[in-house]
Each structure stands twice: as C-alpha cells, then as structure tokens.
Chain A
Amino acid sequence: MMHFPIKRRVAVVGAGMTLYRRRLQETTKEMVFHAVKMALDSAGLTIKDVDAVVGGSAPDLFDGIHMKGENVITEAGGALKPYLRNFTGGTTGVSQQINAWSIVASGLADVCISVSWEKMSPCHPHPQYAFWTIFDRIIERPLGVNLVWIFALEMNRYMHKHNIKKEDIALVAVKNKANALDHPCAQLPAKITVEDVLNSPVMCWPVQRLDISPPSDGASAVIFASEDVAKKITDTPVWVIGVGRCEDTTYWMNRDLYFPYYAYYAGQQAYSMAHIHNPRKEIDVFEIYDPFDYKELHHMEGLRLCGKGEAPKLTREGVTQRDGDMPVNPSGGLMGVGNPIAAGGGMKVCEIFWQLRKEAGKRQVKKDATVGLAHAWGELMQGSSVLIMKV
C-alpha cells in the first residue's frame, strides 16, 4: 500500500453537466462549453480564476475527431494554460479527477477544471463499431468480435461461479432506470420490471438489451480548488480524501473474469489514503460504474462492499436503494442517465458532489451522507479508478 504525504487538501467546489442524449445537436466543443460554464457558475468562479484544465474523453473513434482532447481546449477554458487530456478508456471520467486533484494537491494550480465528454453519435452504423478496434487486431478482431461478447463472457462466468440468476441481476437495471426518473438530464429513465429485462432482445446471451446502458452524447465538469480558495468561495467544500487506480493485464482471455481484482486494488488504495477500514460502514453513498447491470454487482464485490457473490442478495433486500443502508447509483447510473463514456464517470463524481452537498433534490439519499465514493471501470475490462469525497 502506498503512503505518501499529500501536500495540500483539495476540494471539489462546482459541478455541471449537459443533457445526456443518444444524439445532441451540439458539437463536441459546444457540449464542453455548456458543462464547464455550469460548473464555473455553480462555484461562483470565472475563467480568470482557473489555473489549469484536465480534459477527459475515451477513444477518438467515437467523436471521429483525431486528437479530440486538443479540439476542445478553448471551450474547456484551457487556452494558454496547463492542459492535459486523460484517456484511460471507461475509467477516464474518474481517472481524470485524480489528475486534476494531483495538480492542485501538488501546488501546481489553485483551481483546476476537469471536464469529461463523449460524442458517440457521429460513429456509424453504430458506436459499437468503434469498440471493435480496441481488440487485439491479430488474434481477436479476425473473429469478428463485438464489444458485448466480452461482457457476456464475463457476466456468464460471474453468474456461473456464484450461481447467480439473471432475475437478480435485472434488479439493478430496474433500480437504476427508476432512479433516473428523478434526474433531469437522464437519457433513459424508465419504470421497468424484471420481466421487461428478461423479455428484452438478446444481444449476446446472457446480455439482453435492457442489461446494457445506451451510447450517448454528453459532457460533465467538476472544479477542484485548494483549501485556501475553497474556503473562500464556499461554506460546503467537498474534500477529496482518497484516490485509487489500478489496471490488470490486457490478456483478458488468460484471466478468470469472475472477480475484478483491478477494482479491489484501486479500492484498497483509496481506502488506505482515506483511512477507511470498513467501506460499507464508513462510506454513505456510492456511484459505481454500471454500463451493464451485472457490473454494479461485480464492482460492489471488487470494492469490498460485500463478500464475493453477495451483491445480488443486498440488491434483492433493497440495501442499495436510495433509502437503503448502502445506496448505490442514486443518480440512475449509466443504465438510466446514459453512458457518454468519460462523461459517464464524470457524472458520477458530480452526483457524489451534489449528494454530499444535499443538493440532489428528489434523488437525495435518505441517509445523512457525509462520505461518498465514485468509481469507474474500463479498457478491456481491466481497470478501475476510485475517488472518495467527504463534506
């Protein structure tokens, strides 16, 4: 475990996001401006107060804009400032917060914007096609592999290992899509039943249509500030108290997929930094990466919120509902709010910020939440990033 002295305390002081939709008319640049502007306004800051900017977005092949990190620098508020782009697949939306946090914690900047975006709609016939290019070009792509394949393979392995039923997994889709009904930016909020999930078209067994989050266009932004600045501009700074990041091997076909060790190690790093021993008891609200319903369960186990194979039981008992003892994805998650890859993770950080500030309105969890965790996962099902925040 890493133990390193952190130079300065860092707080999140503002957040913003666009509508998440299958297709937005806005260009990538316009989406990014909307999110950054909302975040700045909510923090009471102007662009002149910003010292550095971190952009986060997944493959260029989604937007179809090569070097898309540079494409949005002006709209991100990063022109003539230190700017860097994070691209760590699906983990980007949380990984990039670790970049922004470290830029402020190290003293390099007092205020750093971190903006995430994805515009998947330009990619035809389907954004799915862009995913094809992330596989090994020589021993996997010639098989005509499709992104859903690997999730179906992982989901089936997980179900087999712990004897989990599809009915139990479907409960996650039901919960998250219902939670999204209270999110004004959500793309696919819905009141559905377990039967709806089980009767939806099969994509790649055991994955069915309603087990999957949609492709989306959208942007989100959060603003990090040093302790001095944060205390000046707000009475309720949300402090970053732990960060963690881990990647497993790209040889996913050489690994037993039933347990996400990368999530486990990323969680352990963040818990250690935050001096958290029992995450289930010491953290009040969770935003866990859920591009597929089973991934919420898989990651709850990886993050040590329960034993291996126990997450379905907690879900069945309502523990992960907004009024439950361990609320997971009160935003509606990627299943309900949408999944503009990097901005999906960014949205989760925004949600924890709003939850801890008690600004989530109808989505506010019943518990008096003071500590929250945002998690994202990605690449070839091999990486995780974790951010723990506290008011």
Chain B
Amino acid sequence: MSLDKISNPEAIKHWTDVIPPEYVYTVGVAGERFFREIKENGRIMGTKCSKCGYIYLPPRIYCEKCFDYIDEWVDVGLKGRVYAYTVTYLDVDGSPLDKPIIFAVIKFDGVYGGLIHRLGEVEPEKVCIGMVVEAVFKDKAERKGSINDIKYFKPSD
C-alpha cells in the first residue's frame, strides 16, 4: 500500500474523547430478594430446585440442570470454605495498594456456586484452601442492599 511517509510527527493526529454514559442496573428478580435478605436480615439465601435438589448461589430464578423455574428459598448460613484465593497488591488502575487484599471464592456446603469476596482478620500467609470462613456484615444502618454489605469473610471454626 502506497502510504505516504510521515516525516512530521505533528501530522500523526490523535483524537481523544470519552464514553460518556452512566449505568444503573437493576439487581433483577432473584437479586432483589437476595440483597434484601443481606440488607435487612443479614442472611445469605440461595434458591433450590425441588426436582434436582440443587441449591444455587447467587440465587437464580431457574434451575440450570432441568431448565425450569424455581422459587424455593433456602438460608445457606454464613459459613463457607475457601475454594480458591489470590492476594492482590495492585488496584484496578495498576497502582500499588497500601495493604494487599485477599480475594477468595467461597463455597457453602451442599450449595452449587458460591460467592467471590474479600477475606479479613487474617494475614495472606495464614490463608489455606478449605479453611472455614464466616461473613462479617456492616452495621445494619450502613447496609445498602449490595454485595459490599458483607465487609469480608473472616476465619471461623
């Protein structure tokens, strides 16, 4: 291709702009109940398929296995186990964090799925897979109906 040779760097033009919209997501039908239970009752709830016996977390309005609607809600408790974890030293922009954050996939016994959350009240070197952890909630007045209403999971017996 006979592209012109650019000898003047000024000629290499760039144009800068932003993607301007802001997003407001509803949390959905299952999410509404899930987050309200966290906010108002400090409970973690899943949905259960009575046919297949699967309990889903986060809850869904349907069963992945039999592809039918489900609406039985069950309390999965506040204790789960560390299924996998990682320690992050950088924030979303890639800048160093003051203190590393431990993120873990937390699975609940007998439950399909799980939650991703922070671990707290524990040093990274003390974390191990299979460790029992328990949800620590913010004070009720501070809860907004968000996954961050749970401050973190801390080691438990």
- A42 interface contact, C-beta 8 A: no
CB distance from B145 to the nearest CB of A (A): 14
- Decide: A27 near B15, CB < 8 A? Known: A37-B62, A77-B67, A130-B21: no
Q: How many Å lie between the Cα of A130 and that of B69 in the bound state?
A: 33
Which residues of chain A come closer than 8 Å to B32, judged between CB atoms?
25
> Are the CB atoms of A124 and B64 closer together than 8 Å?
no
Interface string of A52-90 (1 = CB under 8 A from B): 000000000100100000000011010100000000000
Q: How many Å lie between the Cα of A141 and that of B17 in the bound state?
A: 9
> Are the CB atoms of A64 and B29 closer together than 8 Å?
no
> Are the CB atoms of A25 and B28 closer together than 8 Å?
yes
> Are the CB atoms of B23 and A124 closer together than 8 Å?
yes
Residues facing B in A1-38 (CB within 8 A) are 23-27, 29-30, 33, 37
CB distance from B70 to the nearest CB of A (A): 11
Which residues of chain B come closer than 8 Å to A46, judged between CB atoms?
66-67
Residues facing A in B8-44 (CB within 8 A) are 15, 17, 19-32
- Decide: A74 near B64, CB < 8 A? Known: A122-B23, A130-B21, A132-B20: yes
Interface string of A100-133 (1 = CB under 8 A from B): 0000000000000000000001111100011011
> Are the CB atoms of A137 and B15 closer together than 8 Å?
yes
- B76 interface contact, C-beta 8 A: no
- A233 interface contact, C-beta 8 A: no
> Are the CB atoms of B24 and A122 closer together than 8 Å?
yes
> Are the CB atoms of A122 and B29 closer together than 8 Å?
no
Which residues of chain A come closer than 8 Å to B84, judged between CB atoms?
none
> Are the CB atoms of A26 and B28 closer together than 8 Å?
yes
Main DSSP-derived SS at the B contact region: mixed
> Are the CB atoms of B62 and A75 closer together than 8 Å?
yes
Which partner residue on chain A sits nearest B67 by CB separation? A47
Contact of B69 among A25, A37, A40, A138 (CB under 8 A): A37
Residues facing A in B51-84 (CB within 8 A) are 60-62, 64, 66-69
> Are the CB atoms of B31 and A27 closer together than 8 Å?
yes
Q: How many Å lie between the Cα of A70 and that of B60 in the bound state?
A: 17
> Are the CB atoms of B21 and A64 closer together than 8 Å?
yes
Q: Size band of the B side of the interface? A: 20 to 34
Residues facing A in B86-144 (CB within 8 A) are none
Q: How many Å lie between the Cα of A171 and that of B13 in the bound state?
A: 48
Which residues of chain A come closer than 8 Å to B66, judged between CB atoms?
46-47
Which partner residue on chain B sits nearest A141 by CB separation? B17
> Are the CB atoms of B23 and A30 closer together than 8 Å?
no
CB distance from B58 to the nearest CB of A (A): 11
Which residues of chain B come closer than 8 Å to A30, judged between CB atoms?
28-30, 61
Which residues of chain A come closer than 8 Å to B68, judged between CB atoms?
37
Which residues of chain B come closer than 8 Å to A79, judged between CB atoms?
64
> Are the CB atoms of A138 and B15 closer together than 8 Å?
yes
Which residues of chain A come closer than 8 Å to B60, judged between CB atoms?
29
> Are the CB atoms of B19 and A33 closer together than 8 Å?
no
Which residues of chain B come closer than 8 Å to A133, judged between CB atoms?
19
Which partner residue on chain A sits nearest B20 by CB separation? A129
Which residues of chain B come closer than 8 Å to A27, judged between CB atoms?
25-29, 31
CB distance from A33 to the nearest CB of B (A): 5
Residues facing B in A134-151 (CB within 8 A) are 137-138, 141-142
Q: How many Å lie between the Cα of A27 and that of B61 in the bound state?
A: 11
> Are the CB atoms of A64 and B17 closer together than 8 Å?
no
Q: How many Å lie between the Cα of A130 and that of B22 in the bound state?
A: 10
Which partner residue on chain B sits nearest A139 by CB separation? B15
> Are the CB atoms of A123 and B29 closer together than 8 Å?
no
Q: How many Å lie between the Cα of A91 and that of B58 in the bound state?
A: 34
Q: How many Å lie between the Cα of A192 and that of B15 in the bound state?
A: 46
Contact of B21 among A37, A74, A75, A123 (CB under 8 A): A123
Which residues of chain A come closer than 8 Å to B19, judged between CB atoms?
61, 133
Which residues of chain B come closer than 8 Å to A130, judged between CB atoms?
21
Chain A CB count within 10 A is highest, among B23, B60, B68, for B23
Which residues of chain A come closer than 8 Å to B69, judged between CB atoms?
37
Q: How many Å lie between the Cα of A274 and that of B19 in the bound state?
A: 43
Q: How many Å lie between the Cα of A61 and that of B69 in the bound state?
A: 29
Which residues of chain A come closer than 8 Å to B62, judged between CB atoms?
33, 37, 75
Residues of B near any A CB (own CB < 8 A): 15, 17, 19-32, 60-62, 64, 66-69
Between A and B, 28 residue pairs with Cβ closer than 8 Å are: A23-B26, A25-B29, A25-B32, A27-B27, A27-B29, A27-B31, A29-B28, A29-B60, A30-B28, A30-B29, A30-B30, A37-B67, A40-B67, A46-B66, A47-B67, A74-B64, A77-B67, A79-B64, A121-B24, A122-B23, A122-B24, A125-B21, A125-B22, A129-B21, A130-B21, A132-B20, A137-B15, A141-B17
- Complex A-B, nearest 3 residue pairs according to Cβ-Cβ distance, in ascending order: A64-B23, A27-B28, A47-B67
Additional 15 contacts, C-beta under 8 A, given A27-B27, A61-B19: A26-B26, A27-B28, A27-B31, A30-B30, A37-B62, A37-B69, A61-B21, A64-B25, A122-B24, A122-B26, A124-B22, A125-B21, A129-B21, A132-B20, A133-B19
